[in-house]
A and B are shown apart, each in its own frame.
Chain A
Amino acid sequence: MSEPVNIRHIAPGTKIALADGALAEIVSNPADGVWVFARYLSSPGDPSRVGGEEMIFAQDIVAIRE
């Protein structure tokens, strides 16, 4: 786990790296600093998640990738 990432204003379309090694793209952001809606682009730990949209918890986001 790295430094906390402030997720409140990440725009849709931004890519985020997750704690389990996955990469996802923001679909929508409720701006509560706790959750974002994102689609999995890659998921080495569980490939079945690719393409699926999920709620991602702030503490599971390790970095923003442009």
Chain B
Amino acid sequence: MATAGISGYRPGLVDLKAGQISREIFVNDEIYQEELERLFARAWLFVGHESQIPNSGDYFVSGMGEESVILCRDRTGEVHVFLNSCRHRGMKVCRYDEGSTPVFTCPYHGWSYGTDGKLVGVPYFREAYHEKLDKSRWSLVEVPKLCCYKGTVWACWDPEAPSFFEYLGDFVRYLDLTLDGWDGSEGGTEILGGIQKWRIPCNWKFPAENFCGDSYHNISHRSVDLVGIGPSGSGRRDMQERLMARRLQVSFYERGHQTGVYLFPGNRLTPPSYQHSPIVAEYFAHCEAERHRRRGAWGRLIGSPGEIFPNTALHPRQPRTIAAWHPRGTHQTEVWRWYLVDKAAPSEVKDFLRDYYIRYSGPAGMTEQDDMENWNYAHAASRGTIARRYPYSYEQGMGFEIENYESEGLPVPGTVMDITEAKSSEHNLRNLYRRWAEFMEAESWDELATWRRNGEAMPARAAELKPQAHHPGRCRVVCPSQSV
């Protein structure tokens, strides 16, 4: 059912010229309903990791927007993402977090589906249906577009959407900073332990903007810095990087993705880290040397928090984690957080990292708690009758963006804001909301895929960087008429 389109997201609600955004977008229920249709039903969303479903029959129940979905591997080894809702009367066909099963059976009336989504079991098919039900038309609803990339699984409900690689564009190189091994081996990561899930009483865009490049809020985390949250002991977790690297914010205007990065000088290795554990420190040092050897100049880049539009956050370094900010109504977010480690790392390294990750992130993590405190009250204030009349300020660093940023011969893809001296900018946040407003206004993917108007089906760099043969990034579509 189409909701009345709200027009005039720009400049009324999102004024990027003045750098002001209305508090309404965080609290208005009509806008939220539109987001469910225009964003979450059309964009690529993170669903899970292949390492969670290694064998046939394995499944992991995830979320896309507000909806429950099942990520599973069928008997032939193919990966699927299904809507977790029986076609008969809607009940969840899978009520567990994860596991393994030959069939998904709905508890309400007993309809049963294979792990390939096909309806296989129908009680009283002969007696009650007189064999007339056409089972082939009542399979589980499957996403029309799915992509497995270096272990991560992404899905999209919109058959008109571009392929995942086209969706990422040149940002794929930055996603690699999270997914590749520390030593630069392609896709050398796996999920560690369980998934943390918790709810925060705030709109999903508060965490989203924080992770896309809020370089200003370090003061919130001062107390954990003072007690030495970093895995090398005292001070900020990324102290070393800050001392010697250029600090950049990188945005992709046409895609809506963005990230922070540290760019080291050409002749410097990454500084030592994980000094609290000699085994980890040694492993890390070895990996860094390997990475520089494999990657050359690109090895000078290490990642800091970033965001794939609309709601997948990346933390490539310390800790290494992917988070999804699931919308649960206008006034609530359900966070799902996955942690990554190198597949090939020694067990002592994985153990150390598990402790470190829990201490840092998640609902009991010392650092994450600072953020949630802020989002909680920022959201409450956004709802206030008087408060909501006053826009938020997003003007930091306007006008200082650089295209074609280059450092010692290394071009940095994306539109860059160098914040080494500036300390901070809201460049990446403006990028997020620019793309947000575009999605909210656009009637179709034709309007959104602006890069195609230049004639490029896929940006040159992304084409170069398609995954290597030994690590195929399979992208499969269920509707064969759509090309990848």
Query: Which A residues form the contact surface with B (CB < 8 A)?
Result: 1-4, 6, 33-34, 57-59
Contacts and interface: CB of A to CB of B under 8 A. Distances in A.
16 contacts: A1-B239, A1-B242, A2-B235, A3-B234, A3-B239, A4-B222, A4-B225, A4-B235, A4-B236, A6-B226, A33-B223, A34-B222, A57-B219, A58-B222, A59-B219, A59-B222
Given A3-B235, A6-B226, A58-B219, 16 more contacts: A1-B239, A1-B243, A2-B235, A3-B234, A3-B239, A4-B222, A4-B225, A4-B235, A4-B236, A33-B222, A33-B223, A34-B219, A34-B222, A58-B222, A59-B218, A59-B222
Nearest to B242: A1
Nearest to A19: B423
Contacts of B234: 3
Contacts of A34: 219, 222
Interface string B221-259: 011011000000011100100110000000000000000
A45 to B, nearest CB: 12
Nearest to B221: A4
By secondary structure, the B interface counts as helix
By secondary structure, the A interface counts as loop
Contacts, number: 23
Nearest to A34: B219
A4 B226 contact: yes
A40 B465 CA distance: 52
A24 to B, nearest CB: 18
Contacts of B218: 59
Interface string B274-315: 000000000000000000000000000000000000000000
Interface of B: 218-219, 222-223, 225-226, 234-236, 239, 242-243
A21 to B, nearest CB: 14
Contacts of A4: 222, 225-226, 235-236
Contacts of A58: 219, 222
A59 B217 CA distance: 11
A15 B236 CA distance: 23
Of A4, A6, A33, A59, which is in contact with the most chain B CB atoms at under 10 Å from its CB?
A4
A1 to B, nearest CB: 6
Contacts of B243: 1
Contacts of A1: 239, 242-243
Contacts of A33: 222-223
A58 B423 CA distance: 13
Contacts of B236: 4
A56 to B, nearest CB: 13
Contacts of B219: 34, 57-59
Nearest to B218: A59
A1 B235 CA distance: 10
Nearest to B423: A59
Contacts of A3: 234-235, 239
The 8 closest A-B pairs by CB, nearest first: A3-B235, A4-B225, A3-B234, A6-B226, A4-B226, A34-B219, A1-B242, A4-B235
A33 B220 CA distance: 10
A61 to B, nearest CB: 11
A58 B235 CA distance: 13
A59 B226 CA distance: 11
Contacts of A59: 218-219, 222
Contacts of B235: 2-4
B366 to A, nearest CB: 14
A46 to B, nearest CB: 14
A60 to B, nearest CB: 9
A6 B225 CA distance: 10
A14 to B, nearest CB: 18
A34 B92 CA distance: 49
A59 B218 CA distance: 9
A20 to B, nearest CB: 10
